[in-house]
């Protein structure tokens, strides 16, 4: 698995495009032979190449999936930060509007002191 991850870090967009083009080039050849009524028996070179291409594409999909998860996590953290900022502002406004000697101020102080 570690070999897969190290390969994923070096896979460029050009390499991915090349893999997709190679796969597309192989598939019509196999399909064309099938339309003539022949039995489709791709040779071992085709199968090996297709397996390699699919393995490389699966590495790319894994990269994209991890990237999407990371983006979603970052967006979630940003939303939490905005929510904390909003709540902090509301608390500041509330503290500013409450008489410091009132029971409400005591309740707020006690809540803020809790862990």
Is residue 104 a contact partner of residue 98, using CB atoms and an 8 Å limit? yes
**Ranges of the chain whose pLDDT falls below 70:** 1-11, 17, 20, 23-46
For position 11, what pLDDT does the model report?
Answer: 63
For position 15, what pLDDT does the model report?
Answer: 73
SS (H, E, C) 7-43: HHHHCCHHHHHHHHHHHHHHHHHHHHHHHCCCCCCCC
Nearest to 38 by CA among 26, 29, 48: 29
State the residue for tokens 């291409």. 53
Segment 41-58, tens digit of pLDDT: 556 666 777 777 777 787
For position 6, what pLDDT does the model report?
Answer: 45
For position 89, what pLDDT does the model report?
Answer: 93
């Amino acid at each position: 698995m570690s070999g897969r991850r190290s390969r994923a870090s070096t896979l460029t967009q050009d390499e991915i495009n090349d893999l997709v083009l190679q796969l597309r080039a192989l598939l019509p050849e196999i399909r064309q032979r099938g339309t003539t009524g022949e039995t489709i028996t791709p040779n071992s070179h085709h199968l090996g190449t297709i397996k390699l291409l699919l393995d490389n594409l699966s590495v790319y999909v894994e990269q994209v999936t991890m990237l999407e998860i990371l983006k979603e996590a970052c967006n979630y953290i940003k939303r939490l930060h905005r929510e904390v900022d909003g709540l902090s502002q509301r608390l500041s406004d509330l503290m500013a509007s409450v008489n410091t000697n009132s029971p409400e101020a005591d309740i707020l102080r006690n809540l803020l002191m809790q862990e």
